[in-house]
Amino acid sequence: MSIGKRVRLERLINRDTGKTVLVPMDHGVSSGPMKGIVNLKETVQKIAEGGANAIILHKGMVEAGHRGKGKDLGLIIHMSASTDLSLRKNDKVLVCTVEEAIKLGADGVSIHVNIGAEDEKQMLKDFGEVSKKCLEWQMPLLAMMYYRGPEVKNPYDPKAIAHIARIAAELGADIVKVPYTGDPESFREVVEGCPVPVVIAGGPKVDSDEALLKMVYDAVVVAGCAGLSIGRNIFQHDNVPLITSVLAKIVHEGISVEEALNFMKNVA
């Protein structure tokens, strides 16, 4: 790994803890404007105040999210897209290049691959091409891996999640994002089977802060994953800086769920 890639990775992953808090806000392409990403600059400021390591945006939103002041944040530019309006929304296409991301000041790029989708083979081919370019430019690559498709019965199946995480590592990802399997025992097997850092996806908006904190604690502290990549459960929270801060404390300091809830209560 060159010094350039090491420097970029340290903008995305805390160099002391080896863990990360990533906040994806690429939802505007798939789902349109929604609470939390309408005024992107304002939300990015709150996320930065809370101590996130990096944000994930589509290329056209870099200007909208750039503040020019305040605490710095790493920037990952997302390269994949599909929309909820499509009849085949699981089929992702590339809408950006590594070279474009470099010109926009990115510290890393990300792609989305749905294993089990009808267009899986094209997404894997795209993965290979992006990985090749990332190697050429020494650009960190985050692979968002999901088990989704017409024949998929359980998108959280532990064996399938372990498999898709390994696929990402095999094809050259530096960080792998996968859904949480539901319990730390099975998720530990996912982490152990993947030789690069694994982070958990947030999924649909949860019913309570406690449920979110427990999921992150179990995945990071108990199962040993490298952190989180959570969007709506952060940027749509009623107190974005606070939820970002307490999640960062779990990820980087390993505080318990009880300590996290007390922290939120005392700060609020």
Among all residues, which ones are annotated catalytic? 26, 146, 177
Residues contacting 41, CB < 8 A, separation 6+: 64, 65, 66, 67
> Collapsing DSSP states into helix, strand and coil, what is residue 56?
strand
Contact 196, 171 (CB under 8 A): no
Helices (runs of H) and strands (runs of E) counted in the chain: 12, 10
CA distance linking residue 94 with residue 109, whole number of Å: 12
- 215 and 237 Cβ atoms separated by less than 8 Å: no
Phi-psi region of 68 (alpha: psi -120 to 50; beta: other; left: phi over 0): left
Reference 145, options 115, 116, 173, 105; nearest CA is 115
Q: Give one word for 221, left, alpha or beta, with left for phi > 0 and alpha for psi -120 to 50.
A: alpha
How crowded is residue 39: how many other Cβ atoms within 10 Å of its Cβ? Answer: 11
Structure tokens at 186: 């099975």
